[in-house]
Structure 1
Amino acid sequence: MTTMPYAATEQPGKGSRGSPWIGRVLSGFVVLFLIFDGAIKLVPLQVVIDTVIPLGWPTDPTLWRALGIVLIASTLLYATPRTSFLGAILITAYLGGAVATHVRIGSPLFSHILFGVYLGIALWAGLWLRDPRVRALLPIAR
């Protein structure tokens, strides 16, 4: 007798009834933050220009508008159930760049360097709680 992999054994209705709602709320907070972050890059607000100077990035508004578009597009993919997994991967890559930037300039660990990690954990936790396919792909042993 052969055993089925985790992906084949996860049942869509399995788990707590409140988990999908907690996941939607958590994902909603992540989406709101990322849309706001992308929107201020589109304008770009002076605060964006002021904060990228110490990071060593160019202050060219075209660059920041492009990054705002990438972030908003990735966030919309994440917010859409059919493409949420792809959006989560793209946002994770984006956050990795933010973490690398802060490591490069020696920012404080818990407040700056790990902020992208905290956001990434919230992003994936929200997706894991709201999508049984992700729970099947990334099972957590009980």
Structure 2
Amino acid sequence: MSISQTAPVSSGALWTGRALSTIIVLFMIFDGVIKLPPLDIVTQTMTQLGWPADANAARLLGIIGLVSTALYALPRTSLLGAILLTAYMGGAVATHVRIGSPLFSHILFGVYLGVILWGGLFLRDLRVRALFAN
């Protein structure tokens, strides 16, 4: 099934997709921006998660998150951004599994974000619907 054969996106689905995507974009902007200075709470949290207490490591993660988020927010590159953000979330899940964090509140948080991310993209982008229709 090609994009032209995919049913058009209804107004409700489009706005729901935009709202879900906005939640992800706002969360990831916050997550990325706090890692840039980085704040003491970021360094302390990274140490608790087994990451080095290195400002450059936090900045690098912040930049990766922000660039991936920008790609996700732009319609032309949203699929690439979704893939990169999914990888980013996978790293967060792996980090929490490694240190034995609680399952539903910490380990699966990245999975929850990934479901919202892909759900938002599915609802707002015909190309993604076409991928899943085949």
TM-score, normalised with respect to structure 1: 0.89
RMSD of aligned alpha carbons = 1.5
Where does residue 73 of structure 1 map in the other structure? 67
Computing the radius of gyration over CA atoms, which structure comes out larger, 1 or 2?
Answer: 1
Q: Which residue of 1 aligns with 2:5?
A: 10
Q: Residue 3 of structure 1 corresponds to which residue in structure 2?
A: none
Match of 1:109 in 2: 103
Residue 139 of structure 1 and its aligned partner are, at CA, apart by 3.0
1:8 deviates by: 5.1
Quick one: percent identity of the two aligned structures? 63
The answer as to 2:50 corresponding to 1:60 is no
> 5+ residue gaps in structure 1?
1-5
CA–CA distance in structure 2, aligned partners of residues 82 and 9 of structure 1: 17
- Do the aligned residues in 1 keep the contact of 2:3 with 2:126 (CA within 8 Å)? no
Amino acid at match of 2:102: P
Between the two proteins, the alignment pairs up a number of residues equal to: 134
2:50 is equivalent to residue 50 of structure 1: no
Q: Per the alignment, in what secondary structure is the counterpart of residue 58 of structure 1?
A: coil
SS in 2 for 1:119: helix
> What is the rounded CA distance, in whole Å, between the counterparts of 2:68 and 2:5 in structure 1?
27
Asked if 2 retains the 8 angstrom alpha-carbon contact of 1:10 and 1:132, the reply is no
Between Structure 1 and Structure 2, which shows a larger proportion of helix residues?
A: 2
